[in-house]
Amino acid sequence: MRDSLCATLTSDDVGRRVSVCGWVARRREHGEHLAFLDLRDYSGLLQAVIEGTLDVRPESVVRVTGTVAARPEGTRNDHLATGSIELTDCAVEVLSVAETPPFPLDERVEVDEALRLRWRFVDLRRGSLARNLRLRARVNRALREAMDAQGFCEVETPLLWAPTPEGAREFVVPSRLHPGDFYVLPQSPQIAKQLLMVGGMDRYYQIARCLRDEDLRADRQFEFTQLDLEASFVTQEDVMRFVSRAVLDAAEVATGVRPASIPTMTWAEARDRYGTDKPDLRFAMTLQDLSPVFATTSLRAFAAPTVKALRVPDGAALTRHRLDQLTEYAREIGAKGLAWFRITADGLDSPLARFLTEAESAAIAAVDGAVPGDLVLAVADEYDVACRVLGALRVTLGSPPVSEGPHRYLWVTEFPMFEGIDEDGNVMAAHHPFTMPHLDDLDVLESDPLRVRSQAYDLVLNGWELGSGSVRIHRADVQSRIFRALGISDDVAESRFGFLLGAFRYGAPPHAGFAFGIDRLVAIFAGEENIREVIAFPKTQSGTDLMTGAPKAITVRQLRELRLAPLVKG
C-alpha cells in the first residue's frame, strides 16, 4: 500500500513519486484552490499540498500518493524533520473515516489520565506513549542480547502454577477439569528457575511476566515484567557482573551513554547514611548521628537510643505549615515526633531551641556543615525508626524529579537474613526462605538470628529498587536450619515446597540469581514518574481496566462449569 514512511523522506527524494499512509494530523484550508494536509505515521509528519478542496476529517486514515518536492523559498518549516519538502500533485484516498477524537492528540495539551486509559488506542497515537514503547522494545532487545552473549538460555515457564502460600497475595485461577482446585499465577518464576538449575540448564533467563494481587502504586501494577535470571556454579559477584552487563548495555542503548561500573554499598551503610535500602545517590544529604551529644540530655523528646539529624539545604524558608505537614508525615510512618531547627545567623530558630544546652545547640547548628538558611531535622527513637523516618524525609525534601539528574546505579549487598519477629515469635525472612546466609554468620543463626547477613543483593537506580537476587541454599542441612528459624516445620516445608526440596535431593548445583523490573528501568530511562507511561494497557490504581471494563462478572454458565458460586457481589 505504501512505499515510504512520512519522516524518512528527505530532499534526496525530490522528484520521486511516492505513496504514504497514515492519519490526518492537521488540515489547513485556504479556500477552494489550496489546502495543506499533515499526514502522520509512526515515523513523523509529512505535509501534502492539495490543489483544491480537501474533504477529510482529522484522524481519518488516508493514503496519499504524490511527488516529493522541495518547498518553495520562504515556506520551509524548521520545526519539522520533513520541513524542507512536501508532497505535490497529490491523490488522497480515504481508507477509514474517523469521528472527532475524545481528546486532542496535540501533545502540548495535558489530558486527564482516566480519559487516556479509557481511549488508550487514541492515546497510543500521541508521541510520548509511542516513544516510550519503542524505547522499551530497544531495552528488551539489548537485555536479550546481553544475556545471550553471556551464555544464558531463554526458557519460558508456566503461568498456571501451584499455590505456594508465602509472600505476595496470588491471583487465583479456577480449574475446570478439577472443580474446587486452583492454579495460581506466579508472583515470579522463582521456584521454576531453581528447578531449571537442578535440571542442568546452567544459565537461564527470561523476560517474564510476574503477577501479584497487591495494592497498586505509581511504580507497581498487578502484572509487571522482570528480566529474570539464574545461573549454576556462580558466586554473588558473578551474578552482579551478569546483571551489570545487561543493565549497562540497556542504558547505553536507551541513553546513548554507557554508565561507569556500578558501585556497591552494604545494606548497613545504606540504612545508616541514607535511611533506606534504596539510596538515591543523585543528591547528597546524608543522615548524621547525634546520639553521643544527646546521650545524657535532659530534654525528654531527645531521650532515646538514637538521635539522628538531617540537614536540608535552604530549608529554613519552609513555612510553619509545611513543617507541620512533615511532622505529620513523620508520625504517619512511625516516628513519635519530628524536631526542626531553622539555622539563622543568630542561632537556632525552633520551639525546642531554649531547652537545649549550649553543646547540644552547637552540635545541631553544625550538622553536615549547616549554614544560615538551612534547616536541620532530627528524630530521636530506636535506631531503625530514626533512620527510616529521616530517610523518607530526605527523599521527600531532596529528591529531584525522575526526569532530572544523572542515572546513579548502586548495588546494595549484605542484606539481613531476617527482619522482625512474627506473632509466634519466629523471625521473618527478609528475602525468601531459600536465600543463603552469609557464611561468616552461620554460627549465630540460632543464637542471634537478627544479626545474620544473607547473600542477597539489590540493584538500585535513583532511589528506585530495580530488583533483587540472592545466592540460593543448595544444602539440605542449611535449609532445615533456616526453616526451623522461620518456624516452618518439616511437614509444613514439605507441603509447601516439597517438589523443590525433593528436587534438591537429586543433585542440586550451587546456584544464584536475580530479577529486576523492566517497567521501572524503562520508566527512568524515559523520565517518567509512573510506570503506566511505559505500559501499553495498564490498570488504574484500583485495578480496573477503563478500556475493557475488566474485571467483570462472568456468565452463570461459566460459573457452573467451574463449580463456583458467588458469595457476594461487592
CB of 142 or CB of 456, closer to RNA: 456
- How far is the C-alpha of 231 from the C-alpha of 400, rounded, in Å? 36
276 interacts with RNA by CB under 7 A:
no
Spatial separation of the C-alpha atoms in residues 140 and 391, rounded to whole Å: 33
Our CB check for RNA shows the closer of 108 and 505 to be 108
* Least distance between RNA and beta carbon 200 (Å): 22
d(CA 414, CA 471) in angstroms, rounded, equals 11
Work out how close the CB of 159 gets to RNA at its nearest, in angstroms, rounded to a whole number. 16
> Is residue 306 at the binding interface for RNA, with CB under 7 A as the rule?
no
Nearer to RNA, 12 or 112 (CB): 112
Three cell numbers at 246? 545487561
Does position 7 bind RNA by CB under 7 A?
A: no
DSSP H or E run through 306: strand 306-312
Q: Cell numbers for 227, please give them.
A: 528480566
493 binds RNA (CB under 7 A): no
What's the closest the beta carbon of residue 468 comes to RNA, in angstroms? 9
Which 503-562 positions form the footprint of RNA (CB under 7 A)?
Answer: 529-530, 532, 540-542, 544, 546
| Window 385 to 424, contacts with RNA (CB under 7 A) | 392
On the 0-12 / 13-18 / 19+ scale of CB atoms within 10 A, 129 is buried
Name the DSSP class of 368: G
Task: Please report whether residue 108 would count as binding RNA according to CB under 7 A.
Answer: yes
88 or 344: whose CB is closer to RNA?
Answer: 88
- The span from the CA of 310 to the CA of 65, in Å, is 65
C-alpha cell at 99: 469521528
- Contact pick of 1, 12, 96, 100 for RNA (by CB under 7 A): 100
Is the CA virtual torsion 412, 541, 157, 170 positive or negative?
positive
- The yes or no reply on residue 134 touching RNA (CB under 7 A) is no
Residues 154-183 that bind RNA (CB under 7 A): 166-169
d(CA 554, CA 317): 57
Closer CB to RNA, 332 or 443, in the complex: 332
| Binding residues for RNA, total number by CB under 7 A | 71
Looking at 98, 111, 353, 547, which residue binds RNA (CB under 7 A)? 111
The footprint of RNA on residues 326-355 (CB under 7 A) is 332-333
Q: How far is CA 394 from the centre of its chain?
A: 20
Q: Which one-letter amino acid corresponds to residue 32?
A: E
Select from 430, 485, 500, 518 the one that contacts RNA (CB under 7 A): 430
- Can residue 133 be called a binding residue for RNA (CB under 7 A)? no
Three-class secondary structure of residue 568 per DSSP: coil
Interface with RNA includes 57 (CB under 7 A)?
Answer: yes
- 3-class secondary-structure state, position 424: coil
Q: Which of 7, 80, 352, 536 binds RNA (CB under 7 A)?
A: 80
Rank residues 407 and 432 by Cβ distance to RNA and give the closer one.
432
Residue 569 in contact with RNA, rule: CB under 7 A: no
Question: Taking the alpha carbons of 289, 294, 296, 302 in that order, is the dihedral positive or negative?
Answer: negative
Report helix, strand or coil for 377: strand
Strands (E), 359-441: 375-381, 409-413, 418-421, 427-429
Asked if residue 426 binds RNA (CB under 7 A), the reply is no
Count of all residues that appear for the chain in the document: 570
Pick the closer one to RNA by CB: 184 or 364: 184
Contacts to RNA from residues 201-230, by CB under 7 A: 212, 214-220
Q: Pick the closer one to RNA by CB: 253 or 482.
A: 482
Closest CB to RNA among residues 212, 438: 212
38/374 with CB nearer RNA: 38
47 contacts RNA (rule: CB under 7 A)? yes
Which is nearest to 201 in space by CA: 233, 173, 171, 179?
233
What's CA 290's distance to the chain center, in Å? 34
